[in-house]
Structure 1
């Protein structure tokens, strides 16, 4: 506050502050020294001018006060100080007194001080316990506060969960600091969104933690998880959320301010939710970060006598600041985790599919804590001829990097699966892609997707007509196979390295999958346990699946994970598949010799089968398709030739031959004698394509059963009429 050191009392000051009427004159001790009554105090401004004083101080000091103790300061200290100083008295004498000065806050600005005086050998008034405290008591109190601040910091720094941080913060302050502690957080912070501005700190709050001395919450008081009443408009309680710390010991004044601030038709009920019954002191501190509100920390005293002093307020501000930092870190982590989970789930399929030949159900659970979302994934890919591909993989690492790597890997698998290669061939291409593209360049390059290096993948293709499943693994654990009436088994796969590790071939394995079989594809997070054999985890998975094999498919996954209780330090993915039978009457197939005369026989067989299925509307287009495909197989493929029709939600037509030559559609010129067959096939069907087998290839087409009639392109009918019999 900066009083001039040693400034004498002015005559004007002495006269102006003479003895008040009826005031008792200060007494002198037996040794002649001046004595002061308890409660002798003055209020000074920054210039050392006495603004008001008790009776004893008015007799002795007058208006101006010089304190030799503060001679070396250009301004009064910013924290309470105690000591002994010589004061210039109004009578012209000098007196030695003990003093205790504390700064005052004033709405008009400036620095004001409350200075309490006592005789150099006399006791300090009861209202100023710090001033009379012995040095060893002050030291012990400082040490206790330091321990409390350290304990609070350690407790809140060990978690990244908003609720857990708030609970630990509240527990660390009870009962050492207060009888009741509450932590209230804005709703947007709980949703991991950006905190509200500081001026909106008292709106849309929700209580997330409360701690009491006896463990009981006062009746009517807001409990954890409940929202707090909003306070809006001009109000006297605004400083409670905007100033560093606010202390209140007048509960009647607090309730009155709340009544004015609350926008509700039942203010008494709202006040009971905000002010605990029996409270007599409040200390409230905002938890601010970057000028935004992360919550409000409040301390209440109910049974502990006395209020909060300046040391309490300073300590509380420090703890609230640390709490704000911890909450903001947790909010940022939750937002990143939520973003990664949303990205992960957007990249994963819905998991639940249902077709005539199978149904699937997928379950993905992200990791908890600092690990966050990872790179575990699965996919269900429909292929031609009612076949389905299943892919499951585990990308190394966690966080957004692993999620992005998973998305790139899954996209690559989808793209290559559309070409319909064998599982081992697909993994080989995927391995080459990773080694050539994803891990090329400098290892320190931040743009290189190193998270994909060492990824494990299993790729399987299910054929419902042949009742088989062909699969290959790149370091991934084998699936569980539960055939009807048989105990669970694990598919036997040849060991292969993860992707990007080596260049060994990926061996394929074929297993029987009769209708009603349950297949379980999983990542290592389901079966791996720290310090335990992974085989034990696999056996436990098989045993639990055996118990739930007859349950609805979408209920098996959550039930299995609940029973196994996998560690939450890693994310887990579980894909379940249940196969259904294909009616024999829905499939017709023939073996034909490589003779041009067999084309007419193929058309005849096709028309007869379509008539049996009641698909006469598709007779003309299907006859043209079969004629073209069989003719090409005879010309370029050789014997034997296979013709197969499958009726499902679409009509599928397949023609197989032993040749590996790839058919190519082209647009023939007007003078060309050939080259129009595959163009017609593409126009007459909804989809067509080819796939390689271990020996030869298969050309397939699909036609909708319930769609609109096919509209032939301009001139296509005339074109068909010009083609000789058997030339298609």
Structure 2
């Protein structure tokens, strides 16, 4: 029995398999000779199914295959010359199957050789992976949008982020328009939106340089209609439009029609930005030139992208809304005009409310002194603004007690602790319960009579003092932050601030540090001696580098003025009852020199009598009487005693105890101030012209 040749059977099977691959396999098979001419192609290749193999045989590669980004002939020539195969190469090809389109193929190219090593040609396999690559691109684009869009709390920037991500990966032109009321922080209107709705164009991006624009970015306009844009805002459904010149809705917006024609756009995808049946805006995507028109898969993807973007814009809108409320609260809680004596000019740098927890204040104190406070509460939004208002009110109240800066901050620290304790007892679901309440604060008192500025800080808000000679000081010791668990004491420091000195207080330590290292206009405060203080404020703003503007901080600028020597008088007194009459005589002569009216002069002499008598009886020497003629008339009695006087209501039969009561009745205000090693009892009267 004869056996068939096994080698022949293998060759026969291999030939049969090769024939089956060329006639039935969906994988494209292509054979080329050494001149890169077509020997045979697989008729089952998707875009070759309607092409006769005889039409292609003998034709060169460049005449059959049109690669988008590269030369097919050069690619295969390299395989022929080197013998190095090309594996899993992605090639984009223009095909003419039905409507002209671009498809992606995974290509493998191998050099063919006979058993003797003679080069016979190149074998190429090509698998159509267009849909796979498109799905991968869609997934990648969706991930890019989720990662890049919504990184800020600005609706306009969110639109710019979306447009930058979509062009050119998904569209050749991308436009984002947001309903104008949403930009301002209002609730988005429910659909359907009427024709003529106001929208702001927040973003425009094109793959072409200098593309035509129908409307500039930032413009607020009414949507003309009916158009696909108004329809999308009416029913909240996306739309794909072909763009022949005869599109019936284009005449509604002639500027848009001209821009579309100039750009060569042939496909439009309009997607509404929607959230819970409300319309926030629209995204308009265009494809031009050889880009494929939008299809159903693109529409589905665009809806996902728009949903994410709408959520980001709504978050930004909510932040804007809360920020607007917080800024309004801040403006209502902060002083509109500086309150200070004429001997310390003050000016505030204008704020935009970017930091609602920042506050500033100035308070005119007795004896021609002025208190300056700057602070910043942790947190943001309305809660920070409310806490700021509480602390500012507390500082105002405490300053009336003539506390030294370090003691005032200690009391304010206790107040912050109590406010934090109140937060800790809020309901469990209240997010404010878990929000820490801490604050930085600087408090200073300027005395024009001594030329000293006494200050203390909580945190790192050291004020700057620039003296007329150009020397700069920022030496206030940093105390614990208000509300912190640090139990370290606050320390006050006295710094010379003579007339002509400039004081700068900022709620952001970065600004203070920058000015201390690079003083700029602060290097020559004498140049601003006779100029409006606002000029110096503007110069400081101009000196700040980009990204460090005063819009994120509260800033006070103050300038010390000399106190006239002829409006201040001081006399040492003996601790003897006879000193009372001497004090009255000196007071009477001084008030006459100041042209104080008789009624006020009489009341002042009574006040002086009571204050001097009280000091002789209960105080310790040395004694000193001072009169200060400012916008009010202040009487000060100094002694070295530590006893604190208090107001008494004497009984009818009592012989004494009415001194401070009489003083309180005659004076507009009175109080006690401790300045080691002495104490001062003062009384302030209103002057009448």
TM-score normalised by structure 2 residue count: 0.71
Q: Which residue matches 1:65?
A: none
Query: 3-state DSSP class of the match of 1:380?
Result: strand
CA contact (8 A) 2:177 2:203 kept: yes
Question: Secondary structure at 1:550's aligned position in 2?
Answer: helix
Q: Indicate conservation of the 8 Å contact 1:458/1:474, yes or no.
A: yes
Structure 1 residues 207 and 678, CA gap change in structure 2 (3 angstroms):
same
Q: Which residue of 1 aligns with 2:437?
A: 452
Distance change >3 Å, CA 212–CA 501, structure 1 → 2? same
2:286 equivalent in structure 1: 300
Alignment of 1:604-623 (within 5 A): 604-617=585-598, 618-623=600-605
SS at match of 2:303: helix
Paired position in structure 1 for 2:316: 330
Task: Report the counterpart of residue 54 of structure 2 in structure 1.
Answer: none
Correspondent of 2:540 among 535, 555, 560: 560
Counterpart position of 1:205: 199
Give the aligned partner of residue 216 of structure 2.
223
Structure 2 CA distance for aligned equivalents of residues 662 and 255 of structure 1? 90
| 1:587 CA displacement | 0.7
- My pick for the range that moved more, 311-320 or 473-482, is 473-482
**What CA distance in whole angstroms lies between the structure 2 residues aligned with 1:592 and 1:518?**
36
Residue of structure 1 in register with 2:583 after alignment: 602
> Which residue number in structure 1 is paired with residue 679 of structure 2?
697
Q: 1:590 aligns with which of 571, 588, 591?
A: 571
Q: What are the within-5 Å matches in structure 2 for residues 261-660 of structure 1?
A: 268=254, 279-304=265-290, 307-350=293-336, 352=338, 355-363=341-349, 373=355, 375-435=357-417, 438=420, 451-453=436-438, 455-491=439-475, 493-494=476-477, 496-499=479-482, 500-526=484-510, 537=514, 539-542=516-519, 545-547=522-524, 550-551=527-528, 552-560=532-540, 562-565=542-545, 571-617=552-598, 618-660=600-642
Contact 1:652 1:703 in 2 (8 A): yes
- The equivalent of 1:154 in structure 2 is 147
C-alpha distance in structure 1 between counterparts of 2:392 and 2:171, whole Å: 55
Q: Confirm or deny: 8 A CA contact 1:251 1:281 kept in the other structure.
A: no
Cα displacement (A) at 1:648: 1.7
Report the Cα distance in structure 1 between the residues aligned to 2:350 and 2:229, rounded to whole angstroms. Answer: 47
Distance change in 2, residues 1:397/1:257 (3 Å): closer
Contact conserved, 1:395 with 1:451, CA < 8 A, in 2? Answer: no
Give the drift of 1:190: 1.3
Question: Does the C-alpha gap of structure 1 residues 600 and 450 become closer, same or farther in structure 2, counting only changes over 3 Å?
Answer: farther
- Mapped contact 2:229–2:270 kept (Cα < 8 A): no
Q: 1:145 & 1:295 partners in 2: Cα distance?
A: 23
| Alpha-carbon distance between aligned partners in 2 of 1:183 and 1:258, rounded to the nearest angstrom | 21
Per-residue deviation, residues 58-117 of structure 1 (Å, max 9, x unmatched): xxxxxxxxxxxxxxxxxxxxxxxxxxxxxxxxxxxxxxxxxxxxxxxxxxxxxxxxxxxx
Distance of 2:153 and 2:342 partners within structure 1: 46
- Shift in alpha-carbon separation, 1:519–1:179, aligned structure 2, 3 A: same
Quote how far apart the aligned CAs of 1:229 are: 2.7
**Shift of residue 292, structure 1, vs aligned partner:** 1.3
Report SS of the residue matched to 1:660.
coil
Deviations 1:199-222 (A, max 9, x none): 226501111111122132426x11
Residue pair 2:177, 2:283 contacting (<8 A) in 1 also: yes
What are the ranges of 5 or more consecutive residues in structure 1 without an aligned counterpart?
1-122, 260-266, 529-533, 708-728
Give distance in 1, aligned partners of 2:469 and 2:102.
Answer: 83
Q: Are residues 447 and 268 of structure 1, via their aligned partners in 2, closer, same or farther at CA, if it must alter by over 3 Å?
A: closer
Over 3 Å counting, the alpha-carbon distance change for 1:180 and 1:495 in structure 2 is: closer
Residue 193 (str. 1) matches residue 179 (str. 2):
no
Look up the match of 2:168: 175
- Contact (CA 8 Å) 1:549, 1:556: kept in 2 or not? no
Give, in whole Å, the separation in 2 of the partners of 1:545 and 1:207.
42
Structure 1 pair 322/501, CA: closer, same or farther in 2 (3 Å)?
closer
2:666 paired with 1:681: no
* Offset at residue 358 of structure 1 (A): 0.8
1:425 Cα deviation (Å)? 2.1
Q: How far apart are 1:434 and its partner, in Å?
A: 4.3
- Paired residues of 1:525 and 1:571 also in contact (CA < 8 A): no
More displaced 10-residue stretch of structure 1: 293-302 or 665-674? 665-674
Aligned residues between the structures: 562
Q: Which aligned pairs between 1:118-129 and structure 2 lie closer than 5 A?
A: 126=98
Cross-structure match for 2:231? 239
Distance 1:334 1:172 in 2: 24
Q: Secondary structure at the match of 1:460?
A: strand
Q: 1:480 to 1:136 in 2, by over 3 A?
A: closer
Q: Go from structure 1 to structure 2 and tell me whether the alpha carbon gap of 1:167 and 1:447 turns closer, same or farther (over 3 Å shift).
A: closer
Secondary structure of residue in 2 paired with 1:200: coil
Pair 1:648–1:168, CA change in 2 (3 A): same
- Kept after mapping to 1: 8 A contact 2:639/2:678: yes
The 3-state SS of whatever aligns with 1:199 is coil
What's the CA shift for 1:252? 6.3
3-state SS of the aligned residue for 2:237?
Answer: coil
Residue 706 of structure 1 and its aligned partner are, at CA, apart by 3.2
Contact kept in structure 1, 2:467 and 2:502, CA below 8 Å: yes
User: CA separation of 1:273/1:335 partners in 2, compared to 1, >3 Å: closer, same or farther?
Assistant: farther
Rounded to whole Å, the distance in 2 between the matches of 1:250 and 1:524 is: 55
Pairwise CA distance, 1:297: 0.7
Aligned to 1:591, the other structure's residue is in SS state strand
Distance 2:664 2:247 in 1: 81
CA contact (8 A) 1:236 1:257 kept: no
Hey, what's the Cα distance between the residues in 1 that align with 2:307 and 2:261? 23
Deviation at 1:653, TM superposition (A): 2.0
